[in-house]
Amino acid sequence: MDTSLDETHDPALTSWVDSANDSTTDFPIQNLPFGRFRRAGESEWNIGVAIGAEVLGLRRAGLVDTDDMLGLMQADAGTRRTLRRKISQALRSDSARRDALKSSLVSQSAVEMGLPCRIGDYADFYTGIYHATNVGKQFRPENPLLPNYKWIPIGYHGRASSIGVSPQTFRRPLGQFKAPDDPSPSFGPTRRLDYELELGVFIGTPNALGEAVPMQRAEDHVFGLVLFNDWTARDVQAWEYQPLGPFLSKSFASTISPWIVTLEALKPFRTPFQHPAGDPQPLPYLDSSANRECGGIDISLEVALQTAAMHKAGTPPQRLMKSNFRDSYWTLAQLVAHHTVNGCNLQSGDLLGSGTQSGPDPAQGGSLLELTLGGKQPLRLANGESRGFLEDGDTVILRARCERSGFRGIGFGECAGTVLPARSA
């Protein structure tokens, strides 16, 4: 786990792209997240980095010789650091390439963003202990956490084909559900549609089948992070999840933000990590001195909601909650080490979901299931509307930002998704 800083993290660095020097931008020169974009009228996707309000096309700028994102992702960590330094140098205020690169810039508002890469496999973890506890209390008040939770990073294999990029629209899913007192199940549009505030972890360098990745090298296999909304039909989930876990309640749609924030950019925001005293300490294959010293990451997260009525009235989205990824019960390195300990071969472009990132306060629930106590206490919005679960026309927006004294703040952009009415049954 290399957390050493270099000149690309210097808070004094500025860019010849003026919008990157705005103190409020998510994308200063210290960030340089990767994404795939295309201009109007183009059919081919290009690799770019976000810089302020602009996108720099990397192949057009002569900084890479490919528009294959997976090719960049599978490179070793040292090669990726070298590329980051080249891009940073090209975009700095004193760059001799300023005039030559201006034609490689395009406004973010003028491009279509695609999935950052082809996602091969997707596994969703359950690292938010506050979310797990809050949800467990609703179903098992006396024993909210199952016995294995504090010993292993719980996860399940999800559906990659239905993951879309922000801004995404999707139809309210149909499914089968059964209330406790109903004599038989019903079928129709979900009545308890929810969001889940998560981070997505993109795998970069792959590992060979049968070769587990040790903690000491686990983060070398991580390319970067995105925001991830794991939409969930709670009523369908409650009926189907035993004994094998989520299926149709989650496979209808998931949304990610378009820019992958690299681990290099996140280095200034690392924090110590440890399980609370009295909790089981990680088994040796899930432990390392580096993970204890700086395995956590200080990422502030938030969820906002804009209803159809708010959109029509021109009312901005209303923030519902804030939490922080440093409260996660398991680290990125632990997710990779655990996923591969049986010999599973992760591949470039595979995506790992972090699980819902709630905070210790009840107002920091990362889902409506938590904030409304299962719909029993609907949220009252500023415009007079209320929500127990999501309604058609609702847009949910996830945001994330890293701030630390002495360093330039960076962000992730938005992860937005809008609910459309269900198709006919």
Residues carrying an active site annotation: 131
Prior bond to 147 cis, omega within 30?
no
List, in order, residues 6 or more apart from 278 with CB less than 8 Å away: none
**Separation between Cα atoms, residue 203 and residue 119, nearest integer Å:** 10
What sign for the dihedral angle of Cα 58, 61, 66, 71? Answer: negative
CA torsion through residues 166, 169, 175, 180, sign: positive
CA distance 47 to 29: 17
| Distance in angstroms (rounded) separating the CA atoms of residues 416 and 229 | 8
Nearest to 144 by CA among 119, 164, 165, 126: 126
Contact assessment for residue 234 and residue 241, using Cβ atoms and an 8 Å cutoff: no
Q: Which of 87, 40, 80 is nearest to 61 (CA)?
A: 87
